[in-house]
Amino acid sequence: MADVEDIIHKHLTALNLSKDERPRVNKAQAALNKLLREKFDPQGVVMLGGSVARGTVIRPPKDVDLLVVFSDKKFPTVASLSPSDVAERVRVELAALGLNARLQNRSLGLVYEGIDFDLVLAWRDPKDSLVLYLPDQQRHKWLRTSPAEHERIGDERDKGCNQRLRPLIRGMKAWNVKNGKPLRSFHIEVMMWEVWKSDSPKSWAEGLQLSFSRLAERVRRPTADPAGKGPIVDEGLTDTQRAQASRLLYDAAAIAATLPAASDPQAVLNRLLGPKPV
C-alpha cells in the first residue's frame, strides 16, 4: 500500500506547474503588468487569477487567467458601456502595442511569451473592494464575482483536508482533460470544495476513489457560485451532459477502486488521468 500511495502522490504532484513553468508564468504576468501600466492604464493592475492563483492549475499551463483590473480614469463608468464595446476598444489598443488578442465570451485570448493567457477585463466594485465586475458578451451585461473569496474558500478547504485537496483537484482536472473536457475546470473545483467539506481523505487512493464517486453524484445538480455573487458555475450544462459526465465519473471511481491491489498502479493512473507529466 505504501508503494501505491507513493506512486499516486508523485503522479498528482507531477500535474502541478514545474519549477521551470511557474517562473515563466510569473515573468510573463509581470511583463504584461509593466507594459499595460506604462502604455495603457497607469493606475490599473494585471494580476494572476483563476486556477493559477488558487494553486490548482495543471500542466502544461493553458488559458491562464490574468485579471486586468482597470482604473476609474481609464473607464469612468461601467454602466454606460457594453461588454462588447469595452472588449473591442481594449483589443484595438492592445493591437497598437503589438499584442494580437482574440475576443472571447468573458475574456480576450492572447499568446504572450509562449503562454496562452485569458485577459479577464474587470473593475472593482466601489462599494466592495473584493468584488469585481466582469464582461459577459453573450448576456450583454457585466457580472459580479469575487476571485478573492474563491481563493479564501479554496485555502480553507485544502487546510481542512490536510493539504490533500488541491492535488486531488488537479487529478480530477487531468481526468477531465483526458476525457475531452466534459466539465468546466472551475465547476470541478467548486464541486470538490463541496464534496470534501465535511471530511478528509485517509489516503491518496481513497481520495481519488471517493472524489470520482462523489462528483458522479454531485454533478447531477446545479452548482452555485460559492461566493454568492455571480451566476451558477455550470450554467448551460444540460441534463444529458450531466448524466454523461456522471457515468464517466462512476466508471473512473470503479477503476480507482482497483488501485490498492493493482499490480501496476502507474498503468491504472495513466488510464484514469493520462500519462504522468515528466
What residue spans define the domains of the chain? 2-16+149-273, 21-146
pLDDT of residue 62: 86
Question: Among 1.10.3470, 1.10.1410, 1.10.760, 1.10.10, what is the CATH number of 2-16+149-273?
Answer: 1.10.1410
pTM here?
Answer: 0.94
User: What whole-number distance in Å separates Cα of residue 207 and Cα of residue 8?
Assistant: 10
Would you say how long the chain is, in residues? 278
* pLDDT by 10-residue block (mean), the chain, 278 residues: 89 95 93 90 92 95 92 76 90 93 95 94 90 92 94 97 98 98 98 98 98 98 96 96 98 98 97 96
Residues 6+ apart with CB under 8 A from 176: 182, 183, 185, 188
Inter-residue contact 195 to 245 (CB < 8 Å): no
DSSP string, 226-276: TTSSSS-TTTT--HHHHHHHHHHHHHHHHHHTTGGG-S-HHHHHHHHH-SP
- Phi–psi pair at 209, nearest 5 degrees: -60, -45
pLDDT of residue 1: 54
Per residue, what are the HEC states of 118-164? EEEEEEEECCEEEEEEEEECCCCEEEEECHHHHHHHHHHHHHHCCCC
Place of cell 483563476: 50
pLDDT of residue 78: 65
DSSP string, 89-124: HHHHHHHHTT---EE-SSSEEEEETTEEEEEEEEEE
DSSP string, 3-44: HHHHHHHHHHHHTSPPTTHHHHHHHHHHHHHHHHHHHT-TT-
pLDDT of residue 169: 98
pLDDT of residue 143: 92
Grid cell in block for residue 57:
492549475
User: What whole-number distance in Å separates Cα of residue 13 and Cα of residue 26?
Assistant: 20
The CA radius of gyration of the chain, in Å to the nearest whole number, is: 20
Inter-residue contact 142 to 78 (CB < 8 Å): yes
Class of domain 21-146: alpha beta
Greatest alpha-carbon pair distance for the chain in Å reads 63
Residues 6+ apart with CB under 8 A from 216: 246, 247, 249, 250, 253
